[in-house]
Amino acid sequence: MPEPTASDTTEHQHHGYISAKDDYRKRLRRIEGQARGLQRMVEDEEYCIDILTQVSAMTKALQAVSMGLLEDHLRHCVTDAVAQGGPAAEEKIQEASLAVKRLLRS
């Protein structure tokens, strides 16, 4: 039987956010509601500043979800990979670094 690769192992492990999955789902549903609210505001030709205020609130909510997921990834996925060592550790560290760079650009 072949040895599992780093990607095989990753696919079968629980992700770090699994314990807070319901919280993330609730937060994302609220953000979804905010997006629908923004659409209604534009449709109803609400005042620009009021729309921008809501866009800012939605952006902050998405950033909070992103930071929570990143923190969970570092605490679980990266920590587990580093403990195991080998190429999987470097792969997870690189993934996290790239994720941080993407978040900083947004």
Query: If you average pLDDT over residues 84-105, what whole number do you get?
Result: 92
Q: What token pair was written down for 91?
A: 């792969």
The answer to whether residue 28 scores a pLDDT higher than 80 is yes
Domains of the chain: 19-105 (1.20.58.1000)
Residue 35, pLDDT score: 98
Cβ–Cβ < 8 Å for 93, 78: yes
* Number of neighbours of residue 13 by Cβ within 10 angstroms: 13
CB 14 within 8 A of CB 75: no
Highest mean pLDDT among 18-27, 45-54, 77-86: 45-54
Q: pLDDT grade, residue 71 (50/70/90)? A: very high
How long, in residues, is the chain? 106
pLDDT average, residue stretch 40-66: 97
Side-chain-side CA neighbours of 104 within 13 Å: the count stands at 6
Answer yes or no: is pLDDT of 42 > 70. yes
Residue 23's nearest CA partner among 75, 55, 52, 61 is 61
With bands split at pLDDT 50, 70 and 90, how would you rate the model's confidence at 106? confident
- H or E segment at 83? helix 79-84
Cβ atoms of 69 and 20 closer than 8 Å = no
Instruction: Give the number of other Cβ atoms within 10 Å of residue 10's Cβ.
Output: 17
Prediction pTM value: 0.74
Decide: 73 and 96 in contact? Cβ < 8 Å: yes
